[in-house]
Amino acid sequence: MKVDLTVLAIPGFIGAMAAEYVWLRRHPAAPGERRAADYELKDTIASLTMGVGSLIAPYASRRLLDPLTPGVGRGAKALVAGAVVASLATTVLDVVRRRREDGSLPEAGVVRDEDRPGRAEKAGRLTGAMALAAVGATSLAAATTWSAITSGQRLFERGGRDLGGGAGALAVAILGWDAIYYWNHRLSHESRWLWAVHVVHHSSEHYNLSTALRQPVAEGVTMTVPYGLLAWLGVRPSLIEQARALNLIYQFWIHTEAVRSIGCLEKVLNTPSHHRVHHGSNSRYLDRNHGSILIVWDKLFGTFEAEREPVVYGLTSNIDSFDPVVIAGHEWRDMARDVARSTTWADRVGFVLRGPGWASERRAELTAA
């Protein structure tokens, strides 16, 4: 029977949060000062709810996505066919719209279809619905296919190597997971599709150990650098799972303001100071310090930023909600709306794959136009 180390660590998480809460009560903020480290009941409940959801989500998503996964379910071909049909329909509607916009003026007394009350609006809604179906089905088909061909067990069998189950193999798993995690975490800030999943973790305006448990619930519908690459190199899938758990457990303690510095180890390890920067919405802190256990990846690839000014936690545009449904779905909702309102494939694809910053700027441009 497989045992998830993160589940076994839950009593430790709860005990650490209780200790932090006591410490904060004994070191209160100045009168009238709002301190991000302090626990707020609604915020804490939201974070714990998302944490529980992240444990349940893999089982739920497996039941939902397996029927659509190539080689596993029978719905994969239907999903691809639906994506193709919706894409073709959207393209045809785009062509019709452009021809009408670029066409000559009608004869006197003739009312074009697009000039009839509500006709253009209905056509726009139909195009938007088709575009959304096309992008959604294509993304889902790509995600399930990628998951199937990069699974740890599959790549382990294809690699033909086995590093064994000793301490050396576990060290390779932990270091390898840490390196791949850096790139996936970085991509989660640079691609809106991945950001829609990861934004859950950044949605709190508080910063304490409960924030560490505010985890995503939709990781099953994305494409990332596969951790299965470690299996192809000979790391057993069971060790990869242990590395994942140890990685998450390490990240728990860095979500605190109670620890200001750990001295010379700040040069090598990811620490509360470094991770506070990562959670900052300050302009100089955006998209910095993506490391998990080690901070050396950020220093090596140019994304490191030291903590120099007070951190403002949360998003650049906060959602002002403690509702788990809003926390988990607000970026997906906004992305779907942007895709549906777009009139070109370049914008539709851009609103999904390009960065959140680009999406905000492009939305402003289209609104102004």
175-226 confidence digits (pLDDT tens):
999 999 999 999 999 999 999 999 999 999 999 999 999 999 999 899 999 9
Residue 4 confidence class, pLDDT cut points 50, 70, 90: confident
Query: What is the structure's pLDDT at 308?
Result: 96
Amino acid at residue number 299? K
Q: What SS3 string covers 181-210?
A: HHHHHHHHHHCHHHHHHHHHHHCCCCCCHH
Q: For the chain, what percent of residues have pLDDT higher than 70? A: 95
Query: What is the structure's pLDDT at 112?
Result: 56
Position 105 pLDDT exceeds 70: no
Q: What SS3 string covers the chain?
A: CCCCHHHHCHHHHHHHHHHHHHHHHHCCCCCCCCCCCCCCHHHHHHHHHHHHHHHHHHHHHHHHHHHHCCCCCCCHHHHHHHHHHHHHHHHHHHHHHHHHHHCCCCCCCCCCHHHCCCHHHHHHHHHHHHHHHHHHHHHHHHHHHHHHHCCHHHHHHHHCCCCCCCHHHHHHHHHHHHHHHHHHHHHHHHCHHHHHHHHHHHCCCCCCHHHHHCCCCCHHHCCCCCCHHHHHCCCCHHHHHHHHHHHHHHHHHCCCCCCCCCHHHHHCECCHHHHHHHCECCHHHCCCCCCCCECHHHHHHCCCCCCCCCCCECCCCCCCCCCHHHHHHHHHHHHHHHHHHCCCHHHHHHHHHCCHHHHHHHHHHHHHC
Closest CA to 294 of 173, 177, 211: 177
Position 130 pLDDT exceeds 80: yes
Position with higher pLDDT, 4 vs 8 = 8
Q: Would you give the DSSP letter of residue 111?
A: P
Query: What is the structure's pLDDT at 114?
Result: 52
Position 272 pLDDT exceeds 70: yes
Q: For the chain, what percent of residues have pLDDT higher than 90? A: 85
135-145 confidence digits (pLDDT tens):
999 999 999 99
**Mean pLDDT, range 109-126, rounded to an integer:** 68
Amino acid at residue number 221? V
Position 115 pLDDT exceeds 90: no
298-316 confidence digits (pLDDT tens):
999 999 999 999 999 999 9
Instruction: Measure the CA–CA gap between 23 and 20, rounded to whole angstroms.
Output: 5
| Poorest-pLDDT segment among 55-64, 232-241, 288-297 | 55-64
Amino acid at residue number 120? A
Query: What is the structure's pLDDT at 369?
Result: 82
| Poorest-pLDDT segment among 113-127, 249-263, 334-348 | 113-127
Model pTM score: 0.93
**Mean pLDDT, range 271-296, rounded to an integer:** 98
Q: What is the mean pLDDT of the chain?
A: 93
Position 110 pLDDT exceeds 60: no
For residues 198 and 356, the answer to whether their CB atoms sit within 8 Å is: no
Query: What is the structure's pLDDT at 231?
Result: 97
